[in-house]
Structure 1
Amino acid sequence: MTLVNASSRRKELIRIAARLFVVEGFDRTTVRMMAQEMGIKSGSLFHHFRDKQEILCAVIEEGMHNALALARLALDEASATPGARLDAMVRAHLETLLTDRNAHVVALYEWRRLDNESRSHLVHLRDAYEALWKQVIDEALDAGLIRGDPLSVRRFVLGALNWTVRWYDPEGPRSPESLARELVTMITHNPSAS
């Protein structure tokens, strides 16, 4: 199963499906609804996708590829210090949430709807993204910037970041950069404050 396709039409269909999955939920979104939103006949949808499950997989895959690309770029551009790398990952994750919100929300809330084949296809992307976080969190722990169990810290940080899709207003007064700085300040250990 290779779902990544450079076709601009397919990418547009994926974006429309992502929005519908967020608004209606995967289970309530019908092929007819998707086709209507896409301006095509229901049967034409199957020219691009095998079934609704493949559409869900494509939405999540697209979002995961984008998240990985943003994270890798942020780490490449960051200085080598653990604090700078942590800040870069937090900013990249928030950027992913803001630029690709629907795909990210679908991945968070509809992952459980994936069938075994789709989940097996996507798990390497999830693992690659989590490996980046593991490396950055481990570096911050080793440097004494963060305290705690590595797995718990990683889950806490990602959980806090992921929850911003529910409350953060990109049109509001707080910029993504200031939000990222605030989160990093909250989770890092300041030895002089002890």
Structure 2
Amino acid sequence: MNVINASPRRKELTRLAAQLFVQEGFDRTTVRMLAQEMGIKSGSLFHHFRDKQEILAAVIEEGTQNALNIAHRALELAGDDPDSRLRAMARAHLETLFTDRNAHVVALFEWRRLDPSARAHLSHLRDAYEALWVEVIDEALEAGLIHGDRFLVSRFILGALNWTVRWYDPGGSRSPDDLADELVFMIMPKTP
């Protein structure tokens, strides 16, 4: 499966498709709508992609790869302190949501629309991203920074972070860093 492609034009088309998938939903988005949004003829779309399914896979792959890159960079800068690493991952996740919002929203809400071969192809990226979270959560659990079952803690954190795409106002009083710090603060046990 040839999904990621370094072509600037294909990247631009993928970005436009992500925007349309967010606005209309994958199922309601037609090839004609995609071509119109991209400023090309419907037939020209197939010069860049085999079909609408490949466009969806490209959007999710590019967004997930960007999330992985941002997370790796954040963890490198955070050092070895479990608290710093947990905060860095929360900030990185929000950075991904707010800088690549459409791709992330598509990955969250349209993953189930991927055909089985695309899902199999992309699972390694999603799993690699979740593995970073598990590593950081394990470190925080071992350090006593947080408590609970690793699976539930990771689902709680990711769920809370992901849901911000629905309610967060970038022009509001809280920065993404403030949000990340507040989330980490909320999951840490309170000292008497």
Give the TM-score taking structure 1 as reference length: 0.98
Q: What's the secondary structure of 1:4's corresponding residue?
A: coil
Note the 1:71-150 alignment, pairs <5 A. 71-150=71-150
Once residues 17 and 173 of structure 1 are traced to their aligned partners in structure 2, the CA distance between those partners, rounded to angstroms, is 31
Matched AA of 1:146: I
**Deviation digits for residues 33-55 of structure 1 (CA, Å, limit 9, x no counterpart):** 01001110000000000000000
Q: Which residue of 2 aligns with 1:40?
A: 40
**Deviation digits for residues 53-97 of structure 1 (CA, Å, limit 9, x no counterpart):** 000000000000000000000000002110000000000000000
Q: Which residue of 1 aligns with 2:57?
A: 57
Using the TM superposition, give the Cα deviation of residue 2 of structure 1 relative to its aligned residue in structure 2, in angstroms. 2.6
Once residues 10 and 187 of structure 1 are traced to their aligned partners in structure 2, the CA distance between those partners, rounded to angstroms, is 41
Once residues 70 and 2 of structure 2 are traced to their aligned partners in structure 1, the CA distance between those partners, rounded to angstroms, is 21
Once residues 85 and 2 of structure 2 are traced to their aligned partners in structure 1, the CA distance between those partners, rounded to angstroms, is 32
Matched AA of 1:129: Y
Once residues 171 and 60 of structure 2 are traced to their aligned partners in structure 1, the CA distance between those partners, rounded to angstroms, is 25
Q: What's the secondary structure of 1:103's corresponding residue?
A: helix
Once residues 102 and 188 of structure 2 are traced to their aligned partners in structure 1, the CA distance between those partners, rounded to angstroms, is 29
Please state if 1:23 is matched with 2:23. yes
Q: Which residue of 1 aligns with 2:168?
A: 168
Once residues 101 and 49 of structure 2 are traced to their aligned partners in structure 1, the CA distance between those partners, rounded to angstroms, is 22
Matched AA of 1:33: M
Once residues 176 and 71 of structure 2 are traced to their aligned partners in structure 1, the CA distance between those partners, rounded to angstroms, is 15
Using the TM superposition, give the Cα deviation of residue 173 of structure 1 relative to its aligned residue in structure 2, in angstroms. 1.4
Using the TM superposition, give the Cα deviation of residue 188 of structure 1 relative to its aligned residue in structure 2, in angstroms. 1.4
Matched AA of 2:97: L
Aligned length: 192
Once residues 56 and 64 of structure 2 are traced to their aligned partners in structure 1, the CA distance between those partners, rounded to angstroms, is 12
Q: RMSD value over aligned CA atoms?
A: 0.7
Q: Which residue of 1 aligns with 2:3?
A: 3
Using the TM superposition, give the Cα deviation of residue 140 of structure 1 relative to its aligned residue in structure 2, in angstroms. 0.3
Q: What's the secondary structure of 2:146's corresponding residue?
A: coil
Using the TM superposition, give the Cα deviation of residue 172 of structure 1 relative to its aligned residue in structure 2, in angstroms. 1.2
Q: Which runs of 5+ in 2 are unaligned?
A: none
Give the TM-score taking structure 2 as reference length: 0.99
